[in-house]
Amino acid sequence: MTHVIDGNAVANRIQNDLQECIDDLETAGVTPGLATVLMSEDPASETYVSMKQRACDELGIQGLHHELDPTAAADELFETVTALNDDPDVHGILVQMPVPDHVDRATVLRRVDPSKDVDGFHPENVGRLVAGNPRYKPCTPHGIQKLLEAADVETEGKDAVVVGRSDIVGKPMANLLIQKAPGGNATTTICHSRTTDLGEKTRRADIVIAAAGYPELVDGSMIREGAAVIDVGVNRVDAETEKGYELVGDVAFESAKRKADIITPVPGGVGPMTIAMLMYNTVKAASVQTDVPVTLP
Ligand code: GUN
């Protein structure tokens, strides 16, 4: 029987453990604060940010939300970030990506104070991850590590294939998988849009992480019997539903499930973990910035 990992259950468990950390911070007079900044009218981005704010409300994290007109000058965004850097009640800052084309993404990421960069996207934090000394692990790859751990999937000595080379998921995922640390020590291959014969690579893998952003790119014929398959894709495809679309992962779930021992669904797999690990990084940021120790899950 294939084990379908319940991402909501794992995320809830982590958030319950985080609640204890938040209570300890509160006792010491500290309310963790997370600022989200949205400069987009993309419905998916709006949904993601409101889910992040909802998670803050549920846990007693102070959520501050800033919305900028997507046509506003780039300087407005930079100045918003600078003000948040200077605000002692804000421990974590997240600028929802993507930003509009006229805003230089690299400049935004560099502008966030690295100690408040709960996404782990600032070049200093990327460098620390690559050097094997991460400050904030990027939320989605960290959540995937937690899902694998919850499903008792050993990574050490295993062949892992990451499909996708994005800065948000693919690259940091591969970097976590090769760390000399629990959840790492995997022999890791990164595949991408120019990879030839993708299936030949994925069929060799004990662990496949599909994060390319193409609906149902990875199907059962590309999965080795007994593999663990993690689906990061959230693709809106036209469908005759009330909303006019449905969400489809990067994995063809039914066919992959026939081969895999362990698989994540979409929705309800990786998605909830991204939010849980954002809360984790915010709690960690608050603890470090205020010198109030907590025991993170
Ligand atoms: N856009 C898609 N995923 C993410 C994420 O994890 N963080 C931010 N800031 N933007 C995103």
**Could you tell me the CATH number of the domain that includes residue 183?**
3.40.50.720
For residue 250 and ligand 1, the question of a CB distance below 6 A is answered with no
Q: Report pLDDT for 229.
A: 99
Average pLDDT, the chain: 98
222: nearest Cα among 252, 246, 196, 195: 252
Q: Which atom of ligand 1 lies at the shortest distance from residue 138's CA?
A: 6
Q: Report pLDDT for 143.
A: 98
**pLDDT band for position 219 (50/70/90)?**
very high
DSSP per-residue string spanning 160-193: EEEE---TTTHHHHHHHHTSSSTT---EEEEE-T
Q: CA angle 265-266-270, nearest 5°?
A: 80
Q: Give tens-digit pLDDT for 77-90.
A: 999 999 999 999 99
Report if residue 221 sits inside a domain: yes
For residue 95 and ligand 1, the question of a CB distance below 6 A is answered with yes
Q: Which two tokens stand for residue 160?
A: 């892992």
Q: Quote the DSSP letter at residue 216.
A: T
User: How many whole angstroms from 96 Cα to the centroid of ligand 1?
Assistant: 5
Q: Are residues 97 and 156 in the same domain?
A: no
**pLDDT band for position 119 (50/70/90)?**
very high
Report if residue 157 sits inside a domain: yes
Q: Give tens-digit pLDDT for 222-236.
A: 999 999 999 999 999
Q: Report pLDDT for 293.
A: 98
Q: Which whole number is the average pLDDT over 114-131?
A: 98
Query: pLDDT over 90 for what percent of the chain?
Result: 100
8: nearest Cα among 282, 264, 220: 264
For residue 97 and ligand 1, the question of a CB distance below 6 A is answered with yes
Q: Where are the beta strands (DSSP E) in 2-132?
A: 3-4, 33-38, 62-67, 92-95
For residue 51 and ligand 1, the question of a CB distance below 6 A is answered with no
User: How many whole angstroms from 92 Cα to the centroid of ligand 1?
Assistant: 14
User: How many whole angstroms from 94 Cα to the centroid of ligand 1?
Assistant: 8
Phi/psi of residue 82, each to 5°? -60, -40
**pLDDT band for position 123 (50/70/90)?**
very high
pTM of the model: 0.98
Range of the domain at 256: 139-272
Q: Give tens-digit pLDDT for 132-183.
A: 999 999 999 999 999 999 999 999 999 999 999 999 999 999 999 999 999 9
Q: Quote the DSSP letter at residue 70.
A: T
User: How many whole angstroms from 84 Cα to the centroid of ligand 1?
Assistant: 18
For residue 129 and ligand 1, the question of a CB distance below 6 A is answered with no
Q: Which whole number is the average pLDDT over 206-231?
A: 98
Q: Are residues 97 and 149 in the same domain?
A: no
Q: Report pLDDT for 133.
A: 98
Q: Are residues 65 and 143 in the same domain?
A: no
CATH code, domain with 80: 3.40.50.10860
Q: Are residues 257 and 207 in the same domain?
A: yes
In the chain, the number of structural domains is: 2
Q: Which whole number is the average pLDDT over 26-38?
A: 98
State the Cα–Cα distance between residues 242 and 239, nearest whole angstrom: 9
State the Cα–Cα distance between residues 27 and 125, nearest whole angstrom: 30
Q: Which whole number is the average pLDDT over 88-115?
A: 98
Q: Is 96 a catalytic residue?
A: yes
Q: Is 243 a catalytic residue?
A: no
Domain ends where: 116, 147, 163?
A: 116
Q: Report pLDDT for 225.
A: 98
Q: Report pLDDT for 252.
A: 98
Query: pLDDT over 70 for what percent of the chain?
Result: 100
Q: Are residues 232 and 191 in the same domain?
A: yes
Q: Are residues 160 and 48 in the same domain?
A: no
Q: Are residues 255 and 151 in the same domain?
A: yes
